[in-house]
Amino acid sequence: MKQLFVLDPIELINPVKDSSAALIEACYRASIESWVCTPSDLQAKGAKAGVVAKTIIPEPWLTLGEPRNLSLNEFHCIWMRKDPPVDEAFLYATHLLEVAERNGVLVLNKPSSLRAWNEKLGALRFSNLMAPTLVASRVNELKEFAHEQGEVVLKPLGGKGGQGVIRIGDAAAGLDALLELVTSQEQMPVMMQKFLPKVIEGDKRILLVNGDPLGAINRKPKEGDFRSNLALGGQAEATTLSIREQEICEELGASLKSEGLFFVGIDVIGGMLSEINVTSPTGIREVERLACVPLADQVIERLLRDFP
């Protein structure tokens, strides 16, 4: 059996923290042959998709084989794990992966769903689970919403890892200028949400596999910041799911599964859904370390069970 991982350059990945590395290592332990490539290595000749890929032996990290030109039909499963931004190159890669998908290859997550589920906007499908939220480009509408909520956070729709997220009060000096800046003079929509003070207690990352929660961590912001993202200095701690969080997972699970979103990370703050991460969710290493469970192995076991 072969699996292909479409990633950023593998040499740049830190295996101690990276979820893709954890999955590749789990494949190795399951005697699954793993290959790696970048989106630019994908190609199509007529109705047949191919790739220039390298074998990877991850233990010890890492040994790569020589590049080989292969048909994507040779792989049982292809993991699309390229980090954002979801730019033109990313989108074209999903179209090339769909060529393989039409020929019967399993692609995770499903290429059409990667395009449809923006990691901020996708959560709006479940707006009843979210804090009050507005997505808009017009400064007046954003200002009015900020005045209604009192204190808000601004999120760029294409951001990742908490980058560019701003907390601001409705009476802050220069609010108009800030909104003009983040909307590129009212040409680009931005997400504005009511600020949830409970974020200081943590932002829970819950990992769902084929619709079911398999692990979670609580991420607490570093001192002086409200953003809990690990890439920005947030600290991970062990956690369990509350009844409310279990209800959120249950409400999302069927939709995620039906849309081919096999491996997803959702963010929950104070019992409210914040984001649905579908491109390259992280957190496996932290769950394994803090909960002492072989989560990556469980993910691969679930893959082999659900897609034999």
Structure-block tokens of residue 300: 């691969």
Per-residue model confidence as pLDDT tens digits over 23-44: 999 999 999 999 999 999 999 9
**Please, how many CA atoms are within 13 Å of residue 293, restricted to the half-sphere of its CB?**
14
Per-residue model confidence as pLDDT tens digits over 157-166: 987 766 778 8
CA 73 – CA 306 distance, rounded (Å): 19
Q: Assess whether pLDDT exceeds 90 at residue 75.
A: yes
Per-residue model confidence as pLDDT tens digits over 148-204: 999 999 999 987 766 778 899 888 888 999 999 999 999 999 999 999 998 888 899
Give the chain's mean pLDDT.
94
Cα 144 to its chain centre, rounded Å, is: 31
Structure-block tokens of residue 280: 């390259």
Residues near 199 by beta carbon (within 8 Å), at least 6 away in sequence = 221, 226, 228, 269, 270
Q: Assess whether pLDDT exceeds 70 at residue 225.
A: no
Query: Structure pTM?
Result: 0.93
Averaged pLDDT for residues 258-270: 97
Per-residue model confidence as pLDDT tens digits over 269-279: 999 999 999 99
Q: What is the three-class DSSP state of 129?
A: helix
Averaged pLDDT for residues 237-252: 97
Angle at 197 between CA 136 and CA 291, to 5 degrees: 105
Active site residues: 120, 155, 205, 219, 227, 267, 275, 277
DSSP secondary structure code for residue 76 in this structure = S
Q: Assess whether pLDDT exceeds 80 at residue 263.
A: yes
Least-confidence region, from 45-54, 215-224, 259-268: 215-224
Q: What does the pLDDT read at residue 34? A: 98
Averaged pLDDT for residues 260-273: 97
Residues near 237 by beta carbon (within 8 Å), at least 6 away in sequence = 202, 217, 218, 219, 220, 290
Q: What does the pLDDT read at residue 204? A: 95
Q: What does the pLDDT read at residue 289? A: 96
- Give the amino acid at 237: E
DSSP codes, 17-72: T-HHHHHHHHHHHTT-EEEEE-GGGEEEETTEEEEEEEEEE-SSS-EE---EEEEG
Averaged pLDDT for residues 289-307: 97
Angle at 74 between CA 73 and CA 76, to 5 degrees: 90
For CA atoms 275, 41, 107, 217, the dihedral sign is negative
Please report, for residues 170, 243, 284, the alpha-carbon distance to residue 207 in angstroms, rounded to integers and kept in the order given.
34, 16, 8
Averaged pLDDT for residues 46-58: 96
CA 231 – CA 245 distance, rounded (Å): 24
DSSP codes, 229-245: -GGGT-EEEE----HHH
Q: What does the pLDDT read at residue 233? A: 65
